[in-house]
Amino acid sequence: MKHYGQERTRRTRAAQSDAFAAPFAAEIPNALWDNCWLPTKRFNNFETFSLTGAAEVPCGVSICVAEEVARLFNARRADTGSPGGALSLCVKPGLPEEGYELSLQGNACEIVSGSEAGLLYGLYALARLLTLGETEARRLLSSAPRNDIRMIDHWDEFSGECGRGYSGKSIFYEGNQFRGDYGRLEDYARLLASIGINAVSINNVNVSRAEIAFLRPPHLLNVKRIAEIFIKYNIRLFLAVNFASPYVLGELDTADPLEPAVQEWWNAAVKKVYEQIPFFGGFIVKADSEGEPGPFAYSRTHAEGANMLARALAPFGGIIIWRCFVYNCRQDWRDRSIDRARSAFDTFKPHDGEFLENVILQAKFGPIDFQIREPVSPLFGAMPRTNMLIEMQITQEYTGQQQHICYLAPQWKEVLDFDTYADGKGSVASKIVGNAGGRPRGRGGMAAVGSVGGDANWTGHKLAQANWYAFGRLCWDPALGADEILREWIRLTFGLAAEDEDALFNLMKDSRETYEQYTVPLGVGFMCKPHFHYGPDVDGYEYDRWGTYHFADRDGIGNDRTRTTGTGFCGQYFEPNASMYDNLATCPDDLLLFFHHVPYTHVLQSGKTVIQHIYDTHFEGFERVLSMAEEWKRFKGKIRPEDYENVAQRLEEQVRCAREWRDQVNTYFYRKSGIADAKGRVIYR
């Protein structure tokens, strides 16, 4: 499978005088699935390479480094320890373990790092520069990750289904068995490492009885085999575990974390895992959430629950990633005093400083659930004595399910750049979770629910690969721009002519805004089909138990979360954010209905009324999708036929679905408000 025109990027053509802009050599042997952004032809720049200072052990990263040199650069190895190779790779103690320094001099290149992992990342950076044709401008490059943990969470089930997955079946499991497709898992690990991912969880956080068995042979031996593949690429494997495992298995009559028998059960379970997998990363836990068991069942705190597991893991260097997605999922819609948005803060904030050093709390970026628009969770910055991970969602559960083009990096950048004011101005979210945040315990980073499945292109929608790529790049460096990353991905993936590259960039860069326009307005959230979370159903969750209400009536819409008349959620933020959200005059338009209940005639800062904004954005969003579908036709014959057809078919569905969103939402609010569209467009009454 070839990457159409990969060797023809704009900058490569412009840099033919650069010694490193040499043509590709032989094609890299390909499997039956997509290479995504990685090159499919070997570079012909180096005849030899040397690798010094590396510890070459079985399953070690140094073995992978040597393999990647051969795979990417077609170079033969010089004598071990010889610095004479045209490509020199050297581990030097004292340098950042995952960072690298890359220097290009004449026809030679040197990459140095504090560990073999950094050399691997440096190799991928070199391949990226060569493909982009940027070696002349960037002959000296020093880079290190800004986040310690850079993680993909799989919600794959042992049955082979992927929870909230839209890209085919699991690449790990099939029919309650491990698939054993190790070649594909190796290529997956390689793709992850090429964007800097260093941790992966391979099973759903809603852990079934069958998946509890992963902690023991024979299934543990399959987990070991997968872990050995990932660790070659500096990726530690994690398992999601059921908090009540000893009780669910019937081996104890309790899962109380303060019971000595429960503690001993977990101590023994963890020991068995590390006997097989000494480089095992640890556990991820969803507790007291959406029916999953947790410490609340025993009147224990989440700190007590997490710490019990953390103590079992600590002797082996393992960590507990404890999810903060805890809320009342049996809410009475009649009771407006209950606010799902408050839940994570109210549950965890009082226990700041009580969690052990090897516990990391993982909080979703917003207080609800991966909506196309919601505020940044007030939990970030509120727990300075606790390790934190910020959780994104690559899989498009609420953003089009890989049927719609929706480039999510602009959303993630808004989140990472959000100033919490936790320690004064400049306390942005990326610093709070990143390794520049001054955390006393020094552990944090970014995680995301992954989008990968068994489809040949990994992500179902070819263009959805951009979100996967962007997440990894932002994990490594949150200062990168969303547009910069998108340009980079397009060039690495397609190698289009300049005018076509610009056209694809323009088609994708505002697609998140387009999706927001034709779906849910002004931060109100949901309005989608219950359970499936795809397609419009304005009242689908309105009288349900999940706490995701818009409270639309004949006069107005929105959720009053103010401190004076509402749930008080605004008060969970630091100033000046608390007052900004609390005040109707200063609350940003795009979050107005998240924080306030207002009349349909309320005038936004944009000068439009709420109802006219709803009408205008839904008509405009649909028209933008029509334009996207028309614009895509220009790429026929310019990219691989299978990629063209893949996107074209999904754009047909996006047009259909956007029309339904437009008409159902506009009709709903016309019938509620009785206020006509000022522009006289067709609304079905």
Task: Give the model's pLDDT for residue 80.
Answer: 52
- Return the higher-pLDDT residue of 80 and 320: 320
Q: Does residue 654 have a pLDDT over 70?
A: yes
Task: Identify the residue with better confidence: 81 or 271.
Answer: 271
Mean pLDDT of 556-571: 98
Higher pLDDT, 62 or 562: 562
Amino acid identity at 121: Y
Please check whether residue 110 is in contact with residue 90, taking contact to mean a CB–CB distance below 8 angstroms.
yes
Check pLDDT > 80 for residue 7: no
Q: What is the mean pLDDT of residues 92-108?
A: 92
What percent of the chain stands above pLDDT 70?
Answer: 93
Give the pairing type, strands 319-323 and 444-449: unpaired
- What local confidence, expressed as pLDDT, does residue 436 receive? 56
Beta-strand relationship, 100-105 and 140-143: antiparallel
For residue range 589-630, list pLDDT tens digits in order: 999 999 999 999 999 999 999 999 999 999 999 999 999 999
pLDDT digits (tens, 9 = 90+) for 158-208: 999 999 999 999 999 999 999 999 999 999 999 999 999 999 999 999 999
664-668, long-range: CB < 8 A, 24+ apart:
664/536, 664/537, 664/538, 665/519, 665/521, 665/527, 665/536, 665/538, 665/614, 665/618, 666/614, 666/615, 666/618, 666/619, 668/538, 668/539, 668/552
| Active-site annotation, residues | 290, 369, 397
Give me the mean pLDDT over the 9-36 stretch: 53
* 253-264 average pLDDT score: 98
The pLDDT value given to residue 127: 95
pLDDT of residue 78: 82
Q: How far apart are the first and last CA of the chain?
A: 51
Least confident range of 14-18, 111-115, 229-233, 408-412: 14-18
Mean pLDDT of all residues in 231-253:
97
The predicted structure's pLDDT at residue 282: 98
pLDDT of residue 31: 61
Return the pLDDT at 83: 53
pLDDT, tens digit (0-9, with 9 covering 90-100), for 437-469: 545 556 899 999 999 999 999 999 999 999 999
Residue 76: the pLDDT is 87
E strand residue ranges, 210-290: 236-241, 282-285
Task: Kindly state the average pLDDT of the residues 660-666.
Answer: 98
- What is the residue-averaged pLDDT of the chain? 93
CA distances for 315 relative to 14, 167, 234, 274, 311, angstroms: 55, 38, 21, 10, 8
Helix boundaries (H) for 519-609: 577-582, 592-595
Among 257, 259, 324, 312, smallest CA distance to 283 is for 312
3-state secondary structure of 103: strand
Q: pLDDT tens digit string along 394-406?
A: 999 999 999 999 9
Percent of the chain past pLDDT 90, that is, above it, reads 87
The predicted structure's pLDDT at residue 253: 97
